[in-house]
Structure 1
Amino acid sequence: MALGLVRAGACLLLGLLVCPACTQACLMCFVTDKERIRICQMFVGMKAWKTKVCDEKFQLAFEDLLKTEINYDERNNLHDSFTQMVHSLQETAVAKGFYIKAFSKAAEEMKKAILQLKKVPACVPPCGVQELTRRFICDGCYSLICKLPLNCPVKDVTVNRGDQAMFSCVVDFQLPKEDISYSWKFAKGGSRVQPTVPQVRTQDMSYFRDLPRARGSVARIRPAKPVHAGTYSCVIRHDVRPVARLYFFLNVTGPPPRAETELQVTFREVVRWSRKEPEVVEPWKPGLGELLTNPWALTWEDLCLLAALVAVMVASLTVLVWMFCRWYFSGI
């Protein structure tokens, strides 16, 4: 019988050598080596070879959990489940139960507990750092998120000249509820490195300059003009870390709006009319009051005429006075 146990132990060790990764499972992530050894000692005693065989059986019972992936936010809940499992095994060991059966039952209970955990959200292509899809991998005890690029593909936006151009900085995956910010940039053409390159449909950040007046998840240009054509970039950040970078290439087409065309035609007609009918300067013809208040405006002819007029008025006044005096004294 002792020889049979030795052969079984040898076969078990050989299996572990052939499949060493099988020892890495959820059990190894949430139950320490000391805890496992302590449980085995409670089952089989303090002999080292018996404890080793017990520990190997313990790990093999949880082999089916090797490829388990759980929602990263459920780590604490799974850790609590393993803690309860350890207490249950210790109680079974104190009750002199059989460890192989106890390990098998504990593994089945853990599978059921894992199925009750919140599922891992699926990755939403084509881009973005999707933190809410982070999962915990039992095979190695590490976390992982979707392997998608930060930069999203460029979206083409075409509007008629004079219309409104609108860009929505939204993604198809769920963002964290707090500490989300947006920043906008614009690439019209050229860069500091290659200023002569007319490339405007680009994802090269060296071409972009900040748009400090653009805030929030929606940006509008109204009315859109050819000068607004180019690539617009919106960066979504959680705290200070970028979550996604979206690109919009704006193409402004079509003739100017009718109102603008009519205004230009009217302006050209006004300019043409002013050229055909130049302004004519009319001579100044002052009145008598203006001449009297502005002596500097009198010519020599005006002075002579004024002097003659004064002389006639003085002579007339003299004759009237003489005639009055003669009439008055003739009655005495």
Structure 2
Amino acid sequence: MDILFDAHNHPLLDTVYDERLLTAADNFIAAAFKLPRASGCFPPCGFQASGHVYNCITCQYDSCEFPLVCPVKNITVMENNRTQTRCDVPFPLPYEMEVVWFAEEIRTQQVDQFEEVTVGIDRLYSIPSAGLRHQGTYQCEIYSDQRSLVRLYYHLIGFCTGGR
């Protein structure tokens, strides 16, 4: 039988040492599960492939589980001024992507009510001289491999004349 000594130079039997080691390991695991996990997820919306985290308990990848659709952002514009909206997200996007811009005259997020305005890779949508006819909701949708990653909505309001 082996005899070990604890920090106070008292003899320990193997079984006592094994029990203490197992208890310490269990305590460490319990404490580690309480720590916040680092993730690549950025709220509030969008499919974020880089945010997938491997879950050791379920042995599978967990996604960010955010909705595809982002909340509407109101933008107040000055009449006859350039207005720009940018299809930006706080998470990394794939290099191969397509951006589709849509417009509708009312405040809505109903996809079937929008008319396609432009398709390409440009995430910036610009109106050179905004007027009442530009009032409404603009949607940009980013695709990669024919899969929608995010839908952003901008509602243009105001159209102040700037004191003229």
Same fold (TM over 0.5): yes
SS at the partner of 2:152?
A: strand
Per the alignment, residue 39 of structure 1 pairs with none
Question: Partner of 2:45 in structure 1?
Answer: 127
Task: Give the 3-state SS of the residue equivalent to 1:236 in structure 2.
Answer: strand
**Residue 138 (structure 1) aligned with residue 59 (structure 2):** no
* Contact 2:40–2:50 (CA under 8 A) maintained in structure 1: no
Max Rg structure: 1
* Amino acid in structure 2 at the alignment position of 1:212: T
8 Å contact from structure 1 (residues 161, 253) kept in 2? yes
After the TM superposition, list the runs of 4 or more consecutive aligned residues in structure 1 that deviate by more than 2 angstroms: 62-66, 119-122, 212-215, 254-258
- Is 1:161 the counterpart of 2:79? The answer is yes
- After TM superposition, give the deviation of residue 120 of structure 1 in Å: 4.8
> What TM-score do the two structures reach when normalised by structure 1?
0.37
Aligned equivalents of 1:210, 1:139: Cα separation in 2: 44
Q: Which residue of structure 2 aligns with residue 9 of structure 1?
A: none
Matches for 1:211-290 after TM superposition, within 5 Å: 211-212=117-118, 216-255=122-161
TM-score normalized with structure 2 length:
0.72
Match among 172, 175, 178 for residue 93 of structure 2: 175
1:233 is paired with a residue whose SS is strand
Of structures 1 and 2, the one scoring higher in RCO (CA 8 A, sep 6+) is 2
3-state SS, counterpart of residue 133 of structure 2: helix
Q: Which runs of 5+ in 1 are unaligned?
A: 1-61, 70-118, 189-199, 259-332
Aligned with 2:84: secondary structure? strand
Unaligned runs of 5+ in 2: 1-24
* CA shift for structure 1 position 253: 1.7
Bigger share in helix: 1
Q: Partner residue of 2:18? A: none
Distance 2:60 2:119 in 1: 42
Q: Which has the higher strand share?
A: 2
Spell out, residue by residue over 1:228-256, the C-alpha distance to the aligned partner (whole angstroms, 9 max, x if none): 10000000112211111000001242349
Q: Contact (CA 8 Å) 1:236, 1:244: kept in 2 or not?
A: yes
User: Which secondary structure state, in structure 1, belongs to the residue aligned with residue 112 of structure 2?
Assistant: helix
